[in-house]
A and B are shown apart, each in its own frame.
Chain A
Amino acid sequence: MIFMMKMLTGNYASAWGAKLARVKVVAAYPITPQTTIVEKIAEFIANGEFEGRYIRVESEHSAMAACIAAENTGVRTFTATSSQGLALMHEMLHWASGARLPIVMSVVNRALGPPWSIWSDQQDTISQRDTGWIQIYTENNQEVLDSIIMAYRIAENENVLLPIMVIEDAFILSHTMEPVEIPEQEKVDMFLPEYDPRYKLDPAVPMGFGSLVMPEGPFMEYKFKGQEAMENAMNIIDEVDMLYKENFGRSYGGTVEEYRLDGAENVLVIMGSVASTAKDVVDKLRNEGKNVGLVRIRSFRPFPYKRLRYILKNRKSVGVFDRSYTFGYGGALFTEVRSTLYGLSTPVKGYIGGLGGRDITTGLLEKIFMDIIRIGNEGIDRDYEWVGLIGDKRW
């Protein structure tokens, strides 16, 4: 077996994923910190190593529109963006999922302005929660590459047919090199057969894609099909993860990664690359005899509520870290986790931090774990709070 190991940034890993998936059309627009993904693809193309076409569109809105049209024409497509670019796409994100197109998009998490910030937080993707896209949050560069390949397999499944965002953190992953194993093309080809949808734009078959539907027409019924597809995706993400392990030797837990939950009483729920730091903190606290554990949500949509409820149901206390905000209440992950645990006596508390690239240190995470232990013993003091604000002595 030819083993190919390369030192890759998360962004290069993403570009490699698209190349290995034999994407036919890429339409993308540059934005920091996503830029090096499209630059890498351009480099592949310039060197004749990428068989797809790259439409150098004039905006992210057009990038998504072009992917939608290309996907409707029956080819595999890819795009990538961040932050303002993702926000600009919003209208077309709904279009892609409503049209049930298995587009895969790399999103490099970056804060939304103002004030301008190019650094990581999850506000951009969380704000797109309700667009009907599957959202997979990754932890390292290998996972970025593997998740892109898995994403096509999941998205193109007849029982799913929904677009997928594969999400990585700005700079921490996007611009940091890690050793990444590049799967063999032949094996990827077996894992991802050529994409040939049953229905596509074809002059031989006059059909109208996306026409007006009246209130008494099947609008709701088709939206319900989308809902069912998301529910289906929940199992399929887990299945594909196992299948990937069989084929490539790596797996990530599917919708949820469980870390040291054996006997864990106080559990933190988190998403993204900060999970790596949190794992170190869990190890340290475990060594000190504290029964802490970690849950990393990989799939925010569909939200793995059944699995999560099962995982968390007998814990003493649960904390949820959100790297995004919804002014007026706690973070989006927090509210999901808490409603997932509705009816159970487990106290659940939200922590909001790491915004605009603010470092989430081991020290901060340790304090959060100590707070989770405390509410496990003393009960909940408040629903949620912001952590790591300058001048806040408590954190």
Chain B
Amino acid sequence: MKNLTIPEEEYMLPGHTACLGCGATLAMRYTLKALGKNTIITIPACCWAVIPGVYPSRTLEVPLLYTAFEVTGAAVSGIRQALSAKGIEDVNVVGFAGDGGTADIGIQSLSGAVERGEDIFYIMYDNEAYMNTGIQRSSSTPKGAWTTTTQVGKVRDWKKEKKKNMVEIMAAHGIPYTATASIAFPEDFIKKLEKGKKIKGPKFYHVFSTCPTGWLVSPNKSVEVARLAVDSKVFPLYEVENGIYNITYMPKKEVSVKEYFSLQGRFRHLTEDEINEIQKEVDESWRILIEKEKWSKSLIKV
């Protein structure tokens, strides 16, 4: 008898070259568990372009098209339309890209694909910086973080801007389904993917994926940090289905931003005041999210 809460089948093999405790690999592992064998995946430049190992190594049990950094949205469109032209509609077409490849350089092709209503899954594994090239700031890097392009130094040049909200951007496209997810909550993530399988059109997932290397986190704390991000409401778990917001996990205990930050070297330089300011912003975003959920649900016609 097996005591499992997520599917047993594995479509990601061991022997890959990700760092110890890499959250991005868990994001892939869960994605494929949910979507299964009948899947084609495309990956742009990012850590995941290297994780499968150097040629001739492959680590996925599904076909993988490597592509250029900014084209994931176009690549999934090409695969989808080619399959449809051949009369194949039941294959899951997946774009799997980092936050830089999605929220920055790839946002144009993603926007195009979503606007065109392509029947695809887009997974943005968010390790909150350009990790492949060595921890540079992205628009998804959270406020307060040190990266190699937002250094602390004498004038405290750490990242001052807020994280880009990709789920909101996707929702504004009128996307049929978009959700956040976290490597610390695989059941929630897989459920959202299962839901996506039943929806025709683009599905966008923003998956919080700890990067121990880039966040200066001890690898064994990788999942724990991701859990704290959710519990502290820094990264709430919710979905937006045809404009209706639904928070899928209500934090059970009070966790402060400070507590979440405390496990990560990248926030070490922040003062009490600076952390308090971020805490206020997090509280405000959470309040707005709750209001959005209430308001959007009130619009449902009964």
Contacts and interface: CB of A to CB of B under 8 A. Distances in A.
A65 B70 CA distance: 9
Contacts of A65: 67-68, 71, 74-75, 78, 109
A59 B112 contact: yes
Given A57-B74, A75-B82, A201-B79, A207 B116 contact: no
Nearest to B64: A208
A68 B67 contact: yes
B85 interface: yes
B50 interface: yes
* Residues of A in contact with B, size category: 35 or more
Nearest to A212: B54
Interface in A22-64: 24-25, 27, 52-53, 55-59, 61-63
A68 B75 contact: yes
A178 B49 CA distance: 49
Contacts, number: 158
Contacts of B79: 69-70, 72-73, 201
Contacts of A63: 74
B77 A201 contact: no
A81 B230 CA distance: 47
B187 to A, nearest CB: 25
Interface in A159-183: none
B278 interface: no
Most B-side CB within 10 Å, residue of A66, A91, A205, A212: A66
A86 B40 CA distance: 28
A39 B50 CA distance: 40
Contacts of B112: 57-59, 62
Given A62-B74, A211-B52, A52 B66 contact: no
Contacts of A205: 63
B83 to A, nearest CB: 6
Contacts of B56: 211
22 contacts: A25-B78, A25-B85, A61-B71, A65-B74, A65-B75, A69-B67, A70-B85, A72-B79, A73-B86, A75-B86, A92-B68, A95-B68, A201-B79, A203-B39, A206-B58, A208-B60, A210-B66, A211-B66, A212-B50, A212-B55, A217-B54, A218-B55
Interface of A: 24-25, 27, 52-53, 55-59, 61-63, 65-75, 77, 91-92, 95, 201-203, 205-214, 217-218
Interface of B: 37-40, 42, 49-50, 52-58, 60-68, 70-71, 73-79, 81-86, 91, 108-109, 111-112, 115-116
Given A58-B112, A211-B57, 20 more contacts: A24-B86, A25-B82, A53-B84, A56-B116, A57-B109, A62-B74, A63-B74, A65-B67, A66-B81, A71-B82, A74-B86, A75-B85, A206-B62, A206-B63, A208-B64, A211-B49, A211-B52, A211-B55, A211-B56, A211-B58
